[in-house]
Amino acid sequence: MSRLGVLHRERSVTAGLRHRGRLLTAAGAGVVLAAGISIAAFAAPGSHAAAMSGANRAAGTAAKAGAKKADPVPAGPLTVVSVSPANGSRYANGGQQIKVVFSDPLAANSPMPALSPHISGSWRVSGTTAAFTPSSGFQPHTKVTITIPGGSAGVAAAGATQESTTPGNGYLASSVKESYTTGSFSTLRLQQLLAELGYLPLTWAPSGADVSAGNASAQLAAAYSAPQGSFTWQSGYPSKLHSFWKQGSDNLIDNGAIRAFENDQGLTMDGAAGATLWRHLLTAIAKGQHNKHGYTYALASKSSPETLTVWHNGHVVLKTLANTGISVAPTANGTFPVYLRYYYQVMKGTNPDGSKYADPVNFVSYFDGGDALHYFPRYSFGYPQSLGCVELPWDAAKKAWGYTTYGTLVTVAG
């Protein structure tokens, strides 16, 4: 072959190689893009990228998989889904938890809602719910206001950012304020507590766990909503006493029991279940301050012969002849609690003929206005002789006085 022919061949081969190289580079780039890998298998002219080995690719994939993911920034503003007790409620349980549910889980350092009036307790966050557990709770008929702070310094979702103060960065857009009113304490719960403390002629047993042994918050919650349970009459009391009982409603037995408890606690004996009574009652049940006197009931019968019968803790402890009022000054029928007692007293008043009297008497238990059980010296007993009181012989009066403590119900029946 001539030299010219050789040169021509070499140029042809070289040109072919260059053309082939361009084809390979283009084809390789096409494979790389199709696979979605960021490093090319063949470097383009002038590039500093190098081909990645299989081992290096595996290590890179593992590193990406093990990398910690940052908390996502909430896509929209945080919102309040619900508040419990509900806004506008009028008979809420003042001892129950207060719960606020949000649209997203809250940040660990998010500020909590504020309560007015302020009470002691603690907030706890679990996911999207913030719950307040009171140490004691709100008293009846209290208006409670819940203020949930909003804005860039308000309640925040996990992953919220302060790059802007506009809604959509995981913060509550604006503050939310809701309110409710607590209800009344339960008469049924009042009866349960009085029975547990021994101030009723009935016992009470809970169906489940006894909340009386719980903390102040649990006790207060039960005061609003009485737990399930059952009352049982102590045996031995007469049907007359049974007839006064009304479970879950105010009744004469409750009134006498409240007065007995008030006296033991050094309170004014008005027989009303007010805030002071409830406060002492819940304290007494927590401390186990039971009635030390037992339960007494007295029945004065105006049937001939007139008698007085006294029951104590279900047993008849006294039955004696007695005198009630004469026709012009009769002893009123009815049932009344003992409200005043004297070991000795000089009773003064006016006789039916207009004359005055001043009689020394002993073992006095007033139950209805100026009418009382007491000793009075008579030659006989068993028929009307008094000016309205129930007169008793000395020994009987002394024994009755030991049982007819404050709050004892005395029934006069004709």
130, 229: one domain: no
Number of domains in the chain: 4
> Are 309 and 389 found together in one domain?
yes
Would you state the structure tokens that stand for residue 372, as one six-digit string?
């009382």
Residue type, 200: L
| pLDDT tens track, the chain, 414 positions | 443 343 344 444 344 434 333 433 333 333 333 333 333 333 333 333 333 334 444 444 444 444 455 555 555 789 999 999 999 999 999 999 999 999 999 998 999 999 999 999 999 999 999 999 999 899 999 999 999 999 988 999 998 766 555 555 789 999 999 999 999 999 999 999 999 999 999 999 999 887 776 678 889 999 999 999 999 999 999 999 999 999 999 999 999 999 999 999 999 999 999 999 999 999 999 999 999 999 999 999 999 999 999 999 999 999 999 999 999 999 999 999 999 999 999 999 999 999 999 999 999 999 999 999 999 999 999 999 999 999 999 999 999 999 999 999 999 998
Q: pTM, whole model, 2 decimals? A: 0.77
**Which of 273, 254, 182 lies closest to 225, judged by CA?**
182
> Do 234 and 174 share a structural domain?
no
Q: Compute the distance between CA of residue 386 and CA of residue 180 in angstroms, rounded to an integer.
A: 58
- Does 224 reside within a domain? yes
Last residue of a domain, one of 115, 146, 181: 181
55 lies in some domain? no
Note down the domain range covering 308: 296-413
157 and 103 inside one domain: yes
Strand segments, DSSP code E, in 72-175 are 80-84, 98-102, 114-116, 121-126, 129-134, 143-148
Residues 331, 300 contacting (CB under 8 angstroms): yes
Nearest to 220 by CA among 291, 292, 121: 121
Q: What angle (nearest 5°) sits at the alpha carbon of residue 223, between those of residues 221 and 225?
A: 70
Q: Specify if 141 maps to a domain.
A: yes
Mind giving me the DSSP string for 255-279?
Answer: HHHHHHHHHHTT--------HHHHH
